[in-house]
A and B are shown apart, each in its own frame.
Chain A
Amino acid sequence: MPPKILLVDDSKTIRLILAKALRQFECQILEAGNGLEALDIAGREKPQLIIMDLTMPVMDGAEALGKLKGNSALKHIPVVMLTANVGLDDMLKITGSGNVSDFMSKAFKPDELIERVKRFVELKPKAVA
């Protein structure tokens, strides 16, 4: 089964960029526009990886992360946090909590994203027809 990867960002542009990079590989892409939607989709779909923006309306990435890690059915899912704005104290606090698996800074190149994703799920290139 190809891995399910949940992309969570309020920017459609960022979700498009992430999805386009990942679609070179065998994987199922799921999308959410905020943390609340992400929790709902994660509960139903049980993705193998979540890539989530830190700053979002409705429910931000930090709150959604806390709720994911407080849910016994979802706490094992690795989460890569995306952010254009993280201070060292918060990075240490969040990584030190063991809740977040990795950080990726905005801006990023698609190749950097793929390398991060490969740390957590196996990505096989799509077969050429």
Chain B
Amino acid sequence: MSDTANKAEMREVVSKVVAEVFDSMMSMEIEALDPDLPVSIEGDRVVGSVGFGGEEAGVVCLHVNEPFSRQMTAAMIGVELNEVNGDTDVNDAIGELTNMISGNIKSQLYDMVSSSALAVPSIMRGSHVAVESIRAAHREHFVFRHKGQFILLELYLKSK
């Protein structure tokens, strides 16, 4: 299969995985956008990241803004926005969502046979969060929208 076909398949699988996770866990419909469009996530960000190993090794980073991270948490655990219990609940929910996305991308795209390791999710917060890859890593990014809120997903793959 050509690199172009591989990339198209990868983009299709990743978009499907993210849409399924948002639908199943939060009943949120998301729309995949052209990743080359200039989209910015305003204000403080919450970024979940989970690394995976195996035949392909990489890291998945999920970026959303702080108010939307709270909406996502409320939708996930089925409570009102004002019932979300501070950063602890949000960190756990965003970490778990990132874990699901990472695990499903890995198992559907790169490693259907063996159960390779997933790292423990980690959370970063701040207004200027940027993930800079090492030179040996290849970056793909995906942009989604839910009711005016943007979701950025970065996939870093270590070159073979």
Q: Is B107 an interface residue (CB 8 A)?
A: yes
- Cβ–Cβ < 8 Å partners of B118 in chain A: 55, 84-85
Categorize the interface residue count of chain B.
20 to 34
Does A13 interact with chain B (Cβ within 8 Å)?
yes
A90 and B77 within 8 A (CB):
no
Contact indicator A84/B102 (Cβ below 8 Å)? yes
B58 at the binding interface (Cβ < 8 Å): no
B104→A109 contact, CB < 8 A: no
Report yes or no: B113 in contact with A109, Cβ–Cβ below 8 A. no
The segment from A14-22, A41-49, A70-78 found at the interface with B is A14-22
Please, what's the 1-or-0 string for A47-66, where 1 marks a CB less than 8 Å from any CB in chain B?
Answer: 00000001101000000000
Answer yes or no: B21 CB below 8 A from chain A CBs. Answer: yes
Residue pair A17, B76 in contact (C-beta under 8 Å): yes
Query: Using Cβ atoms and an 8 Å threshold, which residues of chain B touch A109?
Result: 24
Number of chain A residues close to chain B: CB under 8 A: 23
In chain A, what residue has the closest Cβ to B121? A11
A105's nearest neighbour on chain B, judged by CB, is B104
Nearest CB of A to B120, in Å: 7
- Smallest beta-carbon distance A70→chain B, Å: 22
Interface residue ranges of B65-117 to A (CB < 8 Å): 73, 76-78, 89, 92-93, 95-96, 99-100, 102-104, 106-107, 111-116
Query: Which B residues contact A (CB, under 8 angstroms)?
Result: 20-21, 24-25, 52, 73, 76-78, 89, 92-93, 95-96, 99-100, 102-104, 106-107, 111-116, 118, 120
Closest CB pairs A-B (n = 9): A84-B103, A85-B103, A107-B24, A87-B115, A90-B115, A87-B114, A84-B100, A107-B21, A13-B93
